[in-house]
């Protein structure tokens, strides 16, 4: 009888084996189960829009000796894997790649993908052109690249992304949370990298997921549910759950006919990891990010194993596993509890361990950062001009520049953390986009000067000077003595009238400048220094492939006054003798005995230099009664080399190994004096040259620096900083901007969210600077504004510090696998990169600095755009229009409002964005509700409809607000959560837009078809 039972068991066993060995249908339909730990499996790939390879190399899968990655394979494979099981889900982020792939697909495949998106199997997350960085980009660039991606998603799929997914940027900004999160309609925001000390405390307190109220002005109206991942990655929870082909993780082997059957073992590992994560996560929902960089190139390998996990884990019953997305996860969290901990401000700086502060990239590749910022302002102006003329359906357009700038906002692009050949590729794309946009600008200006049919053909006579920063501008350097004159068109993209000094390299000092009324205006001639000519010759050859054919001798300067959203014209003609006031050049050699101070400036502002040392000593403003000690110096941080196996300073990491002053205690200076501005020339080292300018009609100092090539012959990498020192009692406190928008209080060696263990007292106090920084005491303020993204700090009370350039000799081990050692070659002449830039400083009585920071900050971002035409001297200026404003001639925007976007869309409608520039309480006069009259902004154009949109213009504002989840803060009541003031609805008849402090409002404006769609006003003036 016993033998019979054994036989029966063997037969049943064999039957069981036969059943298991047949085709297995896995139950993957499981949803959320109440009262169990729910493991949300989020299948994703993180596809860098350039890093170790260029964006195109990543897409097509070339250059695999660097990295085996092909995004085209990922998307091809994912679509097929999703079709195999309707319960599978996948999220995708980077539209720079997705749109490339989409354009390669047949109509049949596109239809399949549309069904996958509609069903929720494929979800577009974040949705921008790239996953932008959060330290180096300006907020306008962040908005533009997000809008660019969202527009495509809306047009092709009629969906609006609702989740922010910033999983790889190296720290997270306040602007990202409230502006690029809540204001675009996102319900939640997820990210990977926060400080290792912060993460440890948040895990212990179950505060990884919070309500992030990042704007003190907009308050709870712009807060968002935000979650940091449990570990410093966006990968599966442990190394046991990677399923790319050739991955080391053990697969789920469930075929009992084969060796290594391991279902029970794999289920136990899954359950253990899930319960571990549940220990520091609120509610019974945890998210597993199933993927990482460029994964799912063979998607079935991942999905097959997740199918099995879902099937067998749910049969086990201890936890519940399901295919999910961040949207499903967010809704589950929202349904479980109503209150969450509160987070304010931002997540900067980021440290991954004790000596690894990711604050070096705030300055890495400063030339690329400057190029991006310059073209960002140019793009803003070019879109305005394109809208005024009317978008050209057959080209040229500003679209290529939009693509290039969108790509450049990626968190390994403008951040300066890509390999060198990839950085070159970013610059190349920007240059091509710039060239195309120059054609748009030239055609628009030609048609505004001569508004008649065929006007665009005149654009061939219009030149621009993209290399003006290196003293190269061929049209202004031409010989005008042979019966020629030069017309300068000066365009102002700001919404208010402005006056600024134009500086042009010229060949002769015998020149006069005339305004549009043919009246001679004051001008100034300064000599061009040898250092500038040297930079010009070398970098012109590097950029164009050949050296310049001639050499200008002088800078011609004059003041241009330009109406809002318009242009003025000026004419430069040859004269028989210098028309400008002769330059006064003074050379001061330090002797130690000279006690007379050297005073610079002819207006309200005076800079005082010590006669005995040749150094800046005082700042005096006669209008504001500021008379303060002010000093400026250079130093370098020696980069830690890491040769002993310790953390090196590199593209990402700032780890100084000592601080060293640059320059002697006593220095020689040259002073040039003129009627428009004075200059102080200061050769600090053979590789550091500084020009300080004080303008007669401005109350700030402009400091132009040329740094490089940084010497490395001693084998030491160097990080160059400048310091501005005062006697202000700042009490360890200073203020830095968030992506050029809000200012955030910083306290040295302090974090509001945890008790900081100070390991790197310099690197750990560095923050990203996009607009500027300031410090103050009870009497005065010191403000510094910048022309690009840099790193900055206040290491000593009363002192502000900017890092201007970096040249390092070792890789920091964080992935890029190269030292940040930029070089430029002209033939066999290779040199370390020299960087030229500017920063601006000003002192004010307490409470009065915000006006300058905000207004002049806009002027730095949007410099006057210059175009040039040569004409015959004896023919007169043959323009129908010599001065123009796109607005009503009696109108300008309020001082606290900026025009962020004026762009004609493909359907002829106009995308309009207006921004209030001030935070609540920032300025006693300007931190108030204000308004813009659209009828005057669109002068003489009949507006037929105005629709208010979300920030990225992919949905109506009211619809967005109605459907957004409303999150509650732990320990608060509805009536004690400040919501922030907002402007009211736009009356369709009055067409007046209200703007509350820090508010940005976005509109689609329809112009009546009975009138020209061109926005060029008919009240053009001579």
CB atoms within 10 A of CB 589: 11
Per-residue confidence at 702, pLDDT binned at 50, 70, 90? very high
pLDDT tens digits for 755-784? 999 999 999 999 999 999 999 999 999 999
For the record, the structure tokens of 833 come out as 């990169």
The answer to whether 241 and 288 have CB atoms below 8 angstroms apart is yes
Question: How far apart (Å, rounded) are the C-alpha atoms in residues 811 and 791?
Answer: 19
- Classify 947 as helix, strand or coil: strand
User: What is the 3-class SS of 319-370, one letter each residue?
Assistant: CEEEEECHHHHHHHHHHHCCEECEEECCCCCCEEECCEECCHHHCCCHHHHH
DSSP state of 968: E
More confident residue, 167 or 12: 167
The answer to whether 804 and 720 have CB atoms below 8 angstroms apart is yes
pLDDT tens digits for 356-386? 999 999 999 999 999 999 999 999 999 999 9
- Which pLDDT does position 594 carry in this prediction? 58
For the record, the structure tokens of 71 come out as 């995004």
CA-based nearest residue to 329, from 26, 27, 43, 113 = 43
In this structure, the dihedral spanned by the alpha carbons of residues 302, 307, 310 and 312, taken in order and rounded to 10 degrees, is -110
Q: Is the pLDDT of residue 232 over 70?
A: yes
- Which pLDDT does position 643 carry in this prediction? 82
- Which pLDDT does position 565 carry in this prediction? 96
- Which pLDDT does position 875 carry in this prediction? 67
- Which pLDDT does position 976 carry in this prediction? 65
Question: How far apart (Å, rounded) are the C-alpha atoms in residues 317 and 752?
Answer: 42
pLDDT tens digits for 393-444? 888 999 999 999 999 999 999 999 999 999 999 999 999 999 999 999 999 9
- Which pLDDT does position 393 carry in this prediction? 82
More confident residue, 38 or 880: 38
Question: How far apart (Å, rounded) are the C-alpha atoms in residues 538 and 477?
Answer: 18
Per-residue confidence at 2, pLDDT binned at 50, 70, 90? very low
Q: Is the pLDDT of residue 448 over 70?
A: yes
For the record, the structure tokens of 717 come out as 């990498």
CA-based nearest residue to 349, from 753, 774, 787, 730 = 753
- Which pLDDT does position 879 carry in this prediction? 73
Question: How far apart (Å, rounded) are the C-alpha atoms in residues 740 and 771?
Answer: 5
Cis before 711 (ω within 30): no
pLDDT tens digits for 327-339? 999 999 999 877 8
The answer to whether 361 and 414 have CB atoms below 8 angstroms apart is no
CB atoms within 10 A of CB 460: 11
User: Per-residue DSSP letters for 164-232?
Assistant: EEE-SSSS--HHHHHTTTGGGT-SEEEE----HHHHHHHHHHT-SEEEEE--TTTGGGG-EEEEE-SSS
pLDDT tens digits for 891-927? 999 999 999 999 999 888 999 999 999 999 999 999 9
């Amino acid at each position: 009888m016993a033998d019979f039972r054994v036989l029966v068991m063997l037969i049943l066993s064999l039957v069981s084996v036969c059943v298991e060995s047949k085709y297995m249908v896995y139950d993957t339909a499981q949803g959320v189960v109440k009262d169990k730990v729910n493991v949300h499996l989020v299948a994703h790939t993180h596809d860098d829009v350039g890093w170790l390879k260029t964006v195109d190399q990543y897409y097509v899968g070339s250059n695999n000796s660097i990295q085996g990655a092909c995004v085209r394979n990922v998307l091809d494979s994912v679509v097929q894997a999703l079709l195999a099981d309707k319960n599978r889900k996948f999220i995708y982020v980077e539209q720079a790649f997705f749109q490339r792939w989409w354009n390669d697909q047949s109509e049949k495949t596109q239809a399949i993908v549309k069904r996958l998106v509609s069903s929720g199997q494929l979800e577009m997350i974040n949705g921008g052109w790239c996953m932008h960085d959060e330290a180096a980009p300006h907020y306008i660039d962040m908005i533009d690249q997000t809008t660019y991606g969202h527009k495509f998603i809306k047009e092709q799929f009629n969906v609006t992304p609702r989740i922010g997914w910033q999983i790889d940027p190296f720290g997270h900004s306040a602007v990202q949370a409230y502006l690029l999160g809540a204001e675009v309609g996102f319900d939640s925001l997820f990210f990977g990298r926060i400080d290792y000390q912060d993460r440890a405390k948040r895990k212990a307190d179950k505060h990884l997921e919070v309500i992030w109220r990042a704007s003190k002005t907009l308050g709870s109206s712009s807060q968002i549910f935000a979650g940091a991942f449990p570990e410093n990655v966006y990968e599966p929870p442990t190394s046991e759950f990677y399923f790319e082909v050739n991955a080391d993780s053990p697969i789920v082997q469930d075929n009992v006919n084969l060796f290594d059957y391991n279902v029970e073992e794999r289920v136990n590992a899954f359950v253990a990891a899930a319960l571990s994560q549940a220990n520091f996560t609120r509610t019974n929902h945890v998210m597993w990010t199933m993927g990482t960089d460029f994964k799912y190139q063979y998607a079935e390998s991942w999905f097959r194993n997740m199918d099995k996990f879902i099937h067998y884990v749910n049969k086990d019953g201890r936890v519940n596993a399901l295919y999910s997305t961040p949207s499903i996860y967010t809704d589950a969290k929202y349904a479980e509890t109503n209150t969450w901990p509160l987070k304010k401000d931002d997540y900067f700086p980021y440290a991954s361990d004790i000596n690894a502060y990711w604050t070096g990239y705030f300055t890495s590749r400063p030339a690329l950062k400057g190029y991006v910022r310059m073209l960002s302002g140019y793009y803003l102006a070019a879109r305005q001009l394109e809208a005024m003329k009317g978008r050209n359906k057959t080209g040229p357009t500003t679209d290529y520049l939009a693509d290039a700038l969108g790509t450049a906002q990626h968190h390994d692009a403008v951040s300066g953390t890509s390999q060198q050949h990839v950085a070159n590729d970013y610059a190349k794309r920007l240059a091509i986009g710039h060239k195309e946009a120059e054609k748009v600008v030239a055609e628009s200006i030609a048609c505004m000067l001569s508004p008649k049919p065929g006007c665009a053909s005149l654009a061939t006579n219009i030149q621009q000077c993209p290399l003006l920063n290196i003293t190269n501008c061929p049209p202004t350097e031409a010989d005008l003595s042979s019966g020629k004159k030069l017309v300068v068109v000066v365009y102002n993209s700001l919404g208010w009238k402005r006056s600024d000094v134009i500086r042009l390299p010229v060949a002769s000092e015998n020149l006069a400048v005339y305004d549009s009324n043919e009246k001679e205006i004051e001008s100034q001639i300064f000599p061009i220094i040898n250092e500038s000519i040297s930079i010009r010759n070398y970098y012109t050859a590097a950029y164009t492939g050949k050296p310049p054919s001639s050499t200008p001798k002088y800078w011609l300067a004059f003041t241009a006054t330009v109406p809002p959203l318009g242009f003025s014209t000026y004419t430069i003609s040859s004269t028989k003798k210098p028309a400008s006031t002769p330059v006064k050049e003074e050379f001061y050699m330090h002797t130690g005995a000279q006690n007379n101070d050297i005073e610079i400036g002819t207006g309200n502002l005076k800079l005082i230099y010590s006669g005995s040392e040749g150094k800046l000593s005082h700042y005096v403003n006669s209008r504001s009664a500021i008379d303060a000690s002010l000093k400026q110096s250079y130093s370098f941080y020696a980069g830690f080399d890491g040769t002993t196996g310790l953390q090196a300073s590199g593209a990402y990491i700032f780890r100084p190994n000592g601080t060293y002053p640059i320059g002697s205690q006593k220095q020689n200076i040259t002073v040039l004096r003129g009627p428009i501005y004075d200059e102080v020339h200061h050769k600090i080292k053979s590789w550091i040259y500084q020009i300080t300018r004080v303008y007669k009609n401005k109350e700030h100092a402009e400091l132009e620096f040329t740094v490089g090539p940084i010497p490395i012959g001693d084998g030491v990498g160097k990080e160059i900083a400048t310091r501005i020192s005062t006697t202000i009692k700042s009490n360890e406190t200073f203020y830095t901007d968030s992506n050029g928008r809000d200012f955030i209080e910083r306290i040295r060696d302090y974090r509001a969210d945890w008790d900081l263990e100070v390991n790197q007292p310099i690197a750990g106090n560095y923050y990203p600077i996009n607009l500027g920084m300031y410090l103050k005491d009870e009497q005065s303020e010191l403000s510094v504004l910048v022309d690009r993204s840099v790193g900055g700090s206040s290491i000593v009370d009363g002192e502000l510090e900017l890092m201007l350039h970096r040249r390092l000799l070792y890789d920091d081990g964080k992935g890029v696998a190269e030292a940040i050692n930029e070089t430029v070659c002209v033939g066999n002449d290779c040199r370390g990169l020299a960087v030229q830039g500017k920063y601006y400083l000003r002192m004010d009585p307490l409470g009065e600095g915000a006006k300058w920071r905000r207004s002049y900050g806009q002027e730095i971002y949007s410099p006057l755009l210059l175009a040039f035409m040569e004409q015959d001297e004896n023919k007169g200026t043959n323009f129908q229009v010599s001065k123009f404003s796109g607005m009503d001639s009696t109108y300008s925007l309020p001082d606290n409002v900026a025009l962020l976007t004026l762009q004609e869309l493909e359907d002829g409608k106009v995308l309009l964005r207006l921004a209030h520039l001030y935070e609540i309480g920032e300025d006693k006069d300007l931190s108030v509700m204000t308004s813009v009259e659209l009828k005057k902004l669109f002068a003489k154009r009949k507006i037929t409809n105005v629709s208010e949109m979300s920030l990225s213009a992919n949905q109506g504002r009211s619809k967005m607000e109605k459907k957004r989840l409303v999150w509650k803060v732990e320990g608060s009541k509805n009536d004690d959560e400040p919501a922030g003031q907002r402007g009211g609805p736009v009356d369709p008849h009055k067409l007046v837009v209200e703007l509350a402090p820090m508010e940005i409002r976005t509109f689609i404006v329809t112009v009546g078809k009975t009138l020209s769609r061109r926005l060029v006003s008919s009240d053009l003036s001579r």
